[in-house]
Chain A
Amino acid sequence: MQSSLPKNLIKIENNLKSLTRTRSIYSFLSIAALIAIIYSGLIVAETGNATSIWVGLPKFFDYPIDLFVGSWEYGYRWNLLLLEYLPDLISTINMALFSTAIGTLLAFFLSIFSSRNLIKSKTTVLIFRRIMDVCRSFPELVIALVLLYLLGKSALPAVIAIIIHTAGALGKLFSEAIENVDKNPIEGLESCGASWFTRIRFGVVTQALPLFLTYTILRFEINIRASTILGFVGAGGIGEQLYTNIQWKYEADTIAIMFLLVSTIIALDYLSSYWRKSLIGLKS
């Protein structure tokens, strides 16, 4: 077949062939390396464990079964436990809501200055991206532990920790949303002599808003979990109750708290898709 191709095309065809070959060799090598890494990891974990994973695995479901059995024995008054822990849930949601709100504002600010299509100066973009990297690279738990040590036991360290992480993580997603907007409307506004701020307000924000909203609600969901976990280390709220009840082996209370948490997340999921649909105009 090659003989029927013109001379210049034969060269391209050969290049293409060698390129494909190199690519498949690389893919094969990376898959092999991946398998080796996973296998060696398994061996390391196995030797590090006190008991072998094969002994522990059958006992995996013992605790969940205990939880349900315990709650069953507790009886019908279990419903009242939900009410009992509701104030704690609200305080956790409050923590998450407040830190998501502040974090989102910071993220928006950071994302604008780290989007290449809005900022001409490469240095500015680089600096703001590194700021976001730093904010994002420390888990909430680490920041919260340091702040708890400095500020004492209260909700404040948790809130600050979540704000910092949210600003970094959301800022990254926001700036990706911004960099993906259609540039034509922005150019249209620029050609009218609109200011930089107006261009962002109408050219960028209107286009990126549905994504911003989805990301923010997703982050709110993550932050509810984060503030729950931070409750474990002394930030209060439902996390602290969960921790205490698990320690004391109060099965019914533990299940009640988990039920509250899961319902909150499910409700939030419905709410977010509803908001998003109404915002992008599927509903009207």
Chain B
Amino acid sequence: MIKVEKLNKFFGDNRAVNDVTFEINKPEMIGIIGRSGAGKSTLLRIMNRLTDATSGSIFIEGRDILSLTKKDKRVWQKDCAMIFQQFNLVPRLDVLTNVILGRSNIQSTIRSSLKLFTKAERIDALMALDKLGMAETALQRAETLSGGQQQRVAICRAMMQQPKMILADEPIASLDPLNARLVMESLRNIHREKKITVLANLHTLDTAKNYCDRIIGMRLGEIVFDDVPSSLKDDVAREIYGAEAEEAFEPTVTSTSLGDEKFAEAG
């Protein structure tokens, strides 16, 4: 289904992504772990075509999406929704418009520029927002929301794209534990309900182990681990994280695990 082959990305002498090859044969929830600068973000950005690869190819249903240009490239970008660490919403637009803009690929430019959205689009957007408990904020400006709320809006926008897969670049790294958990759970629900692949860069190990069916470990741009979470031994994980191991193993740092006590407080 998805086949990444000998993917390389060099920034000068620095090999951000080094000879990466892997396959995804069924809809899976995959966590990519690794320390900062391991090439996780670059890999996702190449898949979404935000960054060009130096060499290699990515085949989706037999088609090399790295060779797409212009209109075809944008159609592919619509098919593979991306979620960012910094949410990347348009801060001065209201939430509803932000969500509807997920459809901008299939809207005509003139229509979307004048914000002439159809009733169906508005209804879809509201339904998506309602699903994540954000419908009440529909008319608020995106910049007035908290980080966790913005990330949920970003997920709604991604769902408006009706994607065939979702890429999430450190989706919970800027969130508090409660919101991190909400976001990870909605990503997992989307994966289960829509039966689409979710590929998420995660910084903490326990999040990856809790939510993912498969873990890919990256180190210095290379894939050093690719298997089910249960076979990831602590010493291998320590090697993947290197100097950042303590932080990654510490579940209280930007992670989704909540003590019962904390959860009761927040709720």
Contacts and interface: CB of A to CB of B under 8 A. Distances in A.
Contacts of B74: 193-195
Interface stretch (A82-90, A104-112, A196-204): A196-204
Interface in B62-97: 73-79, 81-82, 84, 86-93, 97
Instruction: Provide the main secondary structure of the chain A interface.
Output: helix
A190 interface: yes
B88 A193 contact: no
B141 interface: yes
Contacts of A197: 109, 113
Interface stretch (B98-106, B125-133, B194-202, B245-253): B98-106
B90 A185 contact: yes
Nearest to B163: A192
Interface in A142-177: none
Interface residues of A, number: 21
Interface string B129-147: 0000000000001000000
A198 to B, nearest CB: 5
A202 B82 contact: no
A193 to B, nearest CB: 4
A66 interface: no
B161 A193 contact: yes
Interface string B153-181: 01001000100000000000000000000
A192 B113 contact: no
Contacts of A207: 90-92
A192 B86 contact: no
Contact of A195 (B84, B87, B104): B104
B48 interface: yes
A206 B142 CA distance: 12
B112 interface: yes
B50 interface: yes
Contacts of B50: 187, 190-191
A188 B97 CA distance: 13
Nearest to B88: A188
Contacts of A184: 84, 86-88
B199 to A, nearest CB: 13
A192 B84 contact: no
Instruction: Pick from A193, A206, A209 the residue with the most CB of B within 10 Å.
Output: A193
Contacts of A281: 92, 141
Given A187-B88, A188-B89, A203-B90, A195 B102 contact: no
A203 B79 CA distance: 20
Instruction: Pick from B76, B81, B104, B105 the residue with the most CB of A within 10 Å.
Output: B104
A188 B73 CA distance: 15
Contacts of A198: 101, 104, 109, 112-113
Contacts of A192: 77-78, 81, 101-105, 157, 161
B92 to A, nearest CB: 5
Interface string B102-127: 11110001001100000000000000
A201 to B, nearest CB: 5
B201 to A, nearest CB: 14
Contact of A193 (B93, B97, B105, B113): B105
Contacts of B77: 190-193
Nearest to B110: A197
Nearest to B86: A184
Contacts of A195: 74, 104-105, 109
10 contacts: A184-B87, A191-B88, A193-B75, A193-B78, A193-B105, A194-B104, A198-B113, A202-B101, A206-B90, A207-B90
Interface of A: 182, 184-185, 187-195, 197-198, 201-203, 206-207, 209, 281
| For the complex of A and B, 5 pairs with smallest distance between CB atoms | A188-B88, A193-B77, A193-B105, A193-B78, A193-B74
Given A188-B89, A202-B93, 5 more contacts: A184-B88, A185-B88, A189-B104, A191-B88, A192-B104
